Structure 1
Amino acid sequence: MTNIISSLGGGSGIDTQSLVSQLTEIERAPREQRLDQRQTELESQISAYGTLKSALSEFQGVLSPLGNADTFNARSVAFPDTDVITPNSLDAGAQTGSYQIEVESVASAQTLVMGSNSDPKAALGNSGELTIQFGEWAYDVSDNPTGFTVNGDKAALNITVDASDSLETIADKINDSDSGIQASVMNVDGNYQLMLSSPSGADNAMQITASDPSLSDFGFNMGNLSALETQQASDAVMKVNGLTINRQTNTIDDVIDGFNFTLNKASVGEKINFSVDVDKGVAEQAVRDFVEAYNSFLTTAKNLTGYSKDENNNTVRGDLATDGTAKALVSRVREMIGNEVDGIESGFTALTNLGIRTERDGSLSISEEEFSAAFSNNFDLVGELFAQNTSSENSFVEVGTGTRVGNTVPGSYDVEITQDPSKGVLSGADIGTLFDTPPFDASTGDYSFDISVNGVKSNTITLSGSYANAEELRTEMQSLINGDENLKGANAKVDVGFDAATGQFSFTSREYGANSKVSLSNQGADMATLGLDTGSVTSTAGRDVAGTINGEPGFGAGEVLLPELGSDAYGLNLSVRPGAAAEGTFSIGFSRGLGGELNNLIERFLSKDGSIANREENMGNQLDRIDDDREELDRRMEQFEARISAQFLAMEKIVTSLQSTGDSLDGLLDRLPFTAQSK
């Protein structure tokens, strides 16, 4: 085509090459203008969606605290300046009230020093097992130990000592055990000794027994007090509003619910007064921020999807004024703002209940008098309106939420527990008169056994102590079983019980469900004395909870009942305690609150497969098609240019031919015969 164009104008003298270009541009212009206009429109809409997403994200950021129940459970504490107590934290929902604390003593940890070697890294050449049990020592007036009571709630620690182990190696093994004991090697007058510090608290002191005489220097028990006790374990003692309270640690988090503080020193006679109060200001500010953020979002959305006035009072149409998706999105948010909140059947069900009104332009305003009254008189209802809330009519059932709660349908559900959960238990036979003439000495017989808990088998456990009563034996067995390395690794634990009425020991798994089982094996020859021989024990497996939710069978796993997959209640979970089945049919409730509902809605809008992402993808595809249309237009214009160029070239040939014919006719008359020229 280039050759054709370059040939134009040669014969006619007309600038046909420029004429072809102009005709081609005239042919291209309207189509290209439509493509440019559509591209500009799409690019403006994509940019507008970016602005809309940003506005939604900012609004969503304000909804996060509004949908959190902690916002409506905020607390404040007025605490005096003192070095006796340090306040650490105050949780949402902390128990309110006025308090007075007097610190009589602080908790301390037992410290034992043992072993001796000139080189802390040298092998001791001794081997065996050290068993460390936790409990409380009794002392005489001279502070000499007189007896030890095992703490059955704390697992024993078993440390295997090899002949190649040094003091530092033993310390490392103890520190790696996660038992709470701190072990270190101290240089004492040129000799190195192992120092152990227990967790603080009188009931966390240590009793250490060695399985081999070569480790006797590490012993601290009534038969062997070789280790040196440099500090006794003691509890913290305080008076709270006149009530004496003991705690094992100086960091206290369970005396005043939700208030964590540290006891620094004893100060008898000094009474520290403070109060914990509800802090409504946090929630009030969150609601005001919500109103302001919504109005800001609405202004942006209206400018994008509707018409507004510029600085010259000219009407300006928003880039998304004709976009159905954007307008439906904004309409859905406005609808949710004005409607009642799903799942709330009474109390404050809508914003209007606390004095928040919708104006004619769609914005929100606050009636200060009604707003103040709502916070003063119905603060709990305000919290239920905005924050996620679950409820249960059955005191044995607690309703929780899982990762799928975003799809849970708010509302009320009828529940029936048809089978309470239970734990696996093993019961022994009557021990008869075993403790009629105490003590019972287990060191003279074979009192050993293996125990399996929830399918995990322990190492062999051996009883070798002297026990004044069944309680001492019970706590000893519980401590040794829960301290077994195999069971600890699987977090399989038991509670050992003794029923004085029947004279029976029992072993109960701490887990609920069908997998909860306890069994004994390899019992020693004398275990029949304790009613725990093979023929005397009875083992009963646990059971999973069973029940229905809105008439549909739930899935029971231990004490947790889950709704049917895909049902309206799916996303909730029910923690059930024994006794729930006796309550019959009851109701549970779930509401996300307005904050949660709006957050959930915006989350769907902004998700990678949400309506905005789909609309942006569609517009992106349209832009791609415009690029394709431009390429197609270029091809068509090339063809058009070639066609009219060929036509003009044909014309040029005709003109050239005519010119040649004209030249040949010049003087023709003079050459014709029988013609005369005028003179």
Structure 2
Amino acid sequence: METSTTSSIVSRLGGGSGIDMTQLARDLAETRFLAQIGQLESRSEALQARISAASTLRSQITQLASALGDRIRNGDLSPSASLANPAVARVQVASSSSASGSYALEVQQLASAQMLAGNAYAGSGELVGEGTLTIRFGNIAGGSFTEDTGRTPATITVEATDTLADVAGKINASASGLTAYVAQTASGAQLVVKGETGEANGFVIEASGASASGGTPVAGNIDFLAWNPAGDSGQLRAAAQDAQFLFDTIAMSSASNSVTGLPEGLSLTLTQTNVGAPTRISFDDKNSAITAMMGDFTAALNDLTGALAELASPLSGELGNDPGARALKRELASLSTEIVIPNAAPGEPATLADLGLARTREGNFRLDADRLRDTLANNPAAAGAMFTTGLFGVFATIDNLAREVSRSTDPGSLGGSITRYTAQAGTIDERLEKIAEQQEALRERLVRQFAATDRNVTASQSTLSFLQNQIAAWNGRNGN
């Protein structure tokens, strides 16, 4: 009877059972907060699903706008023009151009830069004499020079040990717009100096200093490098002049052969004169590219509406009651009838519906090929003008929509929803971190308590062992 009671006491106290008090404390601490953690993690998973769904929709509309912009800027929808005589110029069109009409071009004179080939030296290593070269800029007409006093002259300091090649290097390093090199000719080594194109970029070279001749210079005198139009003896090989051309019979000029600021975003690189034989600039037909674009655009919109319908389903969608998703639905529902060219003339296309975009009863999009064909046949230029990167048009409409749905400060947009859900998820993470701290504190307290209990059990076991021995001894004596 006594032995049975003792075993029961030991069993209840855990003595000799091998119980891991540390693990027991950990298990109890985890169990204490298990329900709270489960609820919070479930809410966190739901929020992450909403963030992912809203991000997916936002990404789709942003990618659509980006792809459309790239196609207009660089693809088959980019405005382009051609010349009937392509030898006269190369023509480019800005991506924001409405690209319509045609223009006449007659190039009368190409822009050129002044070029000097100086007096001949025996070789590029010849010393040129100590002194200073001052290069002044302005207009040269005949034998006269008119300085541009608003432009800083280039000052080249020449040392006594400098050669003709050294002078060329110093001119190149002067950041004056001039370039220089030494040409080895039949006459000897000549310093060639070139300016920038345009009649205002003519220049003269003045020389002064210790080696100046004071009279008729020779190689070794610094003023042997000087030049002005009044004393030219063949050094001037090309004069600085502006390009002169007629654009639609209007006389225009340019300091370079690259001409910008023309109508319809046109820019030209003039390459040849065509005096008396004007050529015509015309814009390339984009009808086939527009038709292909509208087909791709309609398909992309249907991908977006399909994803929106699934993710914003009232019953099973992650964004079933999301204000940003509802706003996007409204925007897409009115997209085909939205005016994208507010300044369109009467009878010209102004909406995406004019380009064949139609809405179905099911809320999807379809391409009305007949309406698109009529628009391209009756208003090809106006239809092409709807595909620019300017303030209005198809791209501007989709780009504005993408910006609106991505606006993080608007609680009624997808961007606002992402911001809100992210903040809520962050709050849950903070609560989980706090629970983890509380859980650890509880575990440490239980470990301390169980350690004390374990010491008590050990002491009890020692007492029981003593009692068992005493009982056994008594029983032995009674048996005798």
TM bin, normalised by shorter chain, reads 0.5 to 0.7
Q: Structure 1's 378 and 151: CA in aligned 2 closer, same or farther, altered over 3 A?
A: farther
- 1:616 Cα deviation from its structure 2 partner: 1.9
> Do the aligned residues in 2 keep the contact of 1:219 with 1:227 (CA within 8 Å)?
no
Letter of the 1:199 counterpart: E
Whether 1:217 and 2:224 are equivalent positions in the alignment is yes
1:334 match: 329
Alignment partners' CA distance in 2, 1:625 and 1:97: 66
- Once the two structures are superposed, residues 244-276 of structure 1 have per-residue CA deviations (whole angstroms, 9 ceiling, x without a partner) of 877664445567764444455567898766622
Alignment partners' CA distance in 1, 2:399 and 2:14: 80
Q: Which of 402, 409, 420 is the matching residue for 1:599?
A: 402
> Do the aligned residues in 1 keep the contact of 2:84 with 2:281 (CA within 8 Å)?
yes
- 1:42 Cα deviation from its structure 2 partner: 1.8
Whether 1:623 and 2:429 are equivalent positions in the alignment is yes
Q: Which of 134, 137, 152 is the matching residue for 1:133?
A: 137
Alignment partners' CA distance in 1, 2:98 and 2:380: 19
Alignment partners' CA distance in 2, 1:615 and 1:351: 34
1:62 match: 64
- Once the two structures are superposed, residues 229-250 of structure 1 have per-residue CA deviations (whole angstroms, 9 ceiling, x without a partner) of 2345566677777888776644
Whether 1:175 and 2:178 are equivalent positions in the alignment is no
Alignment partners' CA distance in 2, 1:349 and 1:274: 27
Letter of the 1:304 counterpart: L
* Identity within the alignment, %: 17
> Do the aligned residues in 2 keep the contact of 1:218 with 1:226 (CA within 8 Å)?
no
Q: Structure 1's 78 and 112: CA in aligned 2 closer, same or farther, altered over 3 A?
A: closer
Matches within 5 A, 1:442-457: none
2:48 match: 46
2:117 match: 113
> Do the aligned residues in 2 keep the contact of 1:186 with 1:194 (CA within 8 Å)?
yes
> Do the aligned residues in 2 keep the contact of 1:32 with 1:630 (CA within 8 Å)?
no
Matches within 5 A, 1:356-375: 356-359=357-360, 362-371=363-372
Alignment partners' CA distance in 2, 1:302 and 1:109: 65
Secondary structure of 1:195's counterpart equals strand
> Do the aligned residues in 2 keep the contact of 1:74 with 1:282 (CA within 8 Å)?
no
- Once the two structures are superposed, residues 74-132 of structure 1 have per-residue CA deviations (whole angstroms, 9 ceiling, x without a partner) of 423345696x3462533232764446667677554432122454564665334245343
Alignment partners' CA distance in 2, 1:242 and 1:345: 32
Matches within 5 A, 1:10-159: 32=34, 35-36=37-38, 38-43=40-45, 45-46=47-48, 48-64=50-66, 74-78=78-82, 84-85=87-88, 87=90, 89-92=92-95, 93=97, 96-98=100-102, 107-118=111-122, 120=124, 124-138=128-142, 147-148=143-144, 150=146, 155=151, 157-159=153-155
> Do the aligned residues in 1 keep the contact of 2:113 with 2:240 (CA within 8 Å)?
yes
Alignment partners' CA distance in 2, 1:342 and 1:269: 46
Task: Indicate the RMSD between aligned Cα atoms, in angstroms.
Answer: 5.8
- 1:54 Cα deviation from its structure 2 partner: 3.9
- Once the two structures are superposed, residues 181-230 of structure 1 have per-residue CA deviations (whole angstroms, 9 ceiling, x without a partner) of 32222234585332112334566544444567475433433543366223
- Provide the TM-score with structure 2 as the length reference: 0.64
Secondary structure of 1:605's counterpart equals coil
Alignment partners' CA distance in 2, 1:111 and 1:74: 39
Unmatched 5+ residue regions in structure 1?
1-6, 139-146, 309-316, 391-591, 672-679
Alignment partners' CA distance in 1, 2:112 and 2:339: 54
> Do the aligned residues in 2 keep the contact of 1:74 with 1:278 (CA within 8 Å)?
no
Secondary structure of 1:198's counterpart equals strand
Matches within 5 A, 1:432-447: none
Unmatched 5+ residue regions in structure 2?
1-8
Whether 1:186 and 2:183 are equivalent positions in the alignment is yes
Alignment partners' CA distance in 1, 2:38 and 2:351: 48
> Do the aligned residues in 1 keep the contact of 2:105 with 2:247 (CA within 8 Å)?
yes
- Once the two structures are superposed, residues 422-448 of structure 1 have per-residue CA deviations (whole angstroms, 9 ceiling, x without a partner) of xxxxxxxxxxxxxxxxxxxxxxxxxxx
Matches within 5 A, 1:402-413: none
Alignment partners' CA distance in 2, 1:181 and 1:12: 98
Q: Structure 1's 182 and 617: CA in aligned 2 closer, same or farther, altered over 3 A?
A: same
- Which structure: greater strand fraction? 1
- Provide the TM-score with structure 1 as the length reference: 0.48
- Which structure: greater helix fraction? 2
